Amino acid sequence: DQQVKQNSPSLSVQEGRISILNCDYTNSMFDYFLWYKKYPAEGPTFLISISSIKDKNEDGRFTVFLNKSAKHLSLHIVPSQPGDSAVYFCAASEGGADGLTFGKGTHLIIQP
């Protein structure tokens, strides 16, 4: 049973436009959410996070939105750049608990 779901295996976006990556979760005890970016043959790199007490967190071109009632979060990248092409993983944790639960990832492809 997947507790963190990324339903789009891939997403293609034109350079300069907004990329929106979505993530749904089922465990209402999750209270901290993170996005990681991963290039082939490399480890995941932390991108941005959000605590459940917030509904938005922004860092440069990256913004994460959290809708707790819908158990949904999204990552917005604007403007999208070629270097953003990677696999993006959504992850979640329970307060004080061990480790993170990951989604299966979304492969973002930025078209020139």
Partner 1 sequence: NAGVMQNPRHLVRRRGQEARLRCSPMKGHSHVYWYRQLPEEGLKFMVYLQKENIIDESGMPKERFSAEFPKEGPSILRIQQVVRGDSAAYFCASSPSASGGNTIYFGEGSWLTVV
Determine the Cα–Cα distance for residues 76 and 57; give it in Å rounded to an integer.
10
* Size of residue set near partner 1 by CB under 8 A: 27
Taking CB under 8 A as the rule, does residue 44 contact partner 1? yes
Cβ proximity to partner 1: between 38 and 61 the closer is 38
Cβ proximity to partner 1: between 75 and 100 the closer is 100
Length of the chain: 112
3-state secondary structure of 2: coil
Taking CB under 8 A as the rule, does residue 25 contact partner 1? no
DSSP-assigned letter for residue 39 = -
Taking CB under 8 A as the rule, does residue 98 contact partner 1? yes
Determine the Cα–Cα distance for residues 108 and 1; give it in Å rounded to an integer.
25
On whether the CB atoms of residues 36 and 108 are closer than 8 A, the answer is no
Taking CB under 8 A as the rule, does residue 62 contact partner 1? no
Interface residues with partner 1 (CB under 8 A)?
Answer: 6, 31-32, 34, 36, 41-46, 49, 51, 89, 93-105
